[in-house]
Amino acid sequence: MLKILGRANSFNVRKVLWICDELGIAFEREDWGRGYMPTSTAEFLRINPIGLIPAVIDDGVVLRESNSIVRYLATRHGPDAIYPKDPVQRAHVEQWMDWANYETSISLRGAFLGGMLHEPPWNNPWFIEQGRNQITREVGQLDDHLDRGGPYMCGETFTVADIPVGLVVNRWFSLDFERPHYSAVAAYYDKLAERPAYRRHVRNGLP
């Protein structure tokens, strides 16, 4: 059975829990990470030398990086529509996954880790301000994109692009500074909430 290593309240572990729930993949999970078993131990580093969660073990194969794990599970267990094989459609899905993991993870360090959790070194006032401005601009770009299409990131059908972006949107709505109202993003947040797996693992009260 698939084994997931990582605490269930982690932003990146929740992507893996969501895709498993979405596709009905059976799994067992161990609580690693902040507040649980530390990822700096030799035992964990033997599994994932990068020292971050999630990691998964599937039939003896160890994988890391949440978006890669999501794509792997979708390829193994999902219908074509959730992760299209057509090169252009696939690139459209992947570009949003990359955007979420790179662009918004930088801005959310300032806006969320620094501004809300007051975690050093991200709590430097300059960095918080920069993160807040940047995530506001990025979610505005997302709003423009959804306004031109939707209801999901790549059109009519739910795809793996919606998984990392769905985590970002949930965190956006948890932020504690004054933000513009983005109506297409708000509609998208409600659209995702129609999915039980999203409500269970993402829109469940955690930021």
Ligand X SMILES: N[C@@H](CCC(=O)N[C@@H](CS)C(=O)NCC(=O)O)C(=O)O
Where on the chain is the footprint of ligand X (CB under 6 A)?
10-12, 33-34, 39, 52-54, 65-67, 101
CB of residue 48 to ligand X, shortest distance in Å: 9
Distance (Å, rounded) from C-alpha 204 to C-alpha 42?
33
Identity of the residue, 53 or 169, whose beta carbon is nearer to ligand X in the bound complex: 53
> In the numeric block, which tokens belong to residue 95?
């570009």
> Residue 125: in which H helix or E strand, if any?
helix 125-148
CB of residue 149 to ligand X, shortest distance in Å: 26
What is each CA distance from 163 to 14, 66, 93, 170, in whole angstroms?
Answer: 9, 10, 10, 11
- Measured in whole angstroms, the distance separating CA 64 from the mean position of its chain's CA atoms is 14
> Residue 15: in which H helix or E strand, if any?
helix 11-23
CB of residue 120 to ligand X, shortest distance in Å: 15
- C-alpha torsion sign, points 4, 93, 127, 143: negative
CB of residue 56 to ligand X, shortest distance in Å: 10
Identity of the residue, 16 or 182, whose beta carbon is nearer to ligand X in the bound complex: 16
Residue of minimal CB distance from ligand X? 33
Helix (H, G, I), strand (E, B) or coil at 32: strand
Identity of the residue, 70 or 154, whose beta carbon is nearer to ligand X in the bound complex: 70
Identity of the residue, 62 or 187, whose beta carbon is nearer to ligand X in the bound complex: 62
Identity of the residue, 70 or 185, whose beta carbon is nearer to ligand X in the bound complex: 70
CB of residue 151 to ligand X, shortest distance in Å: 25
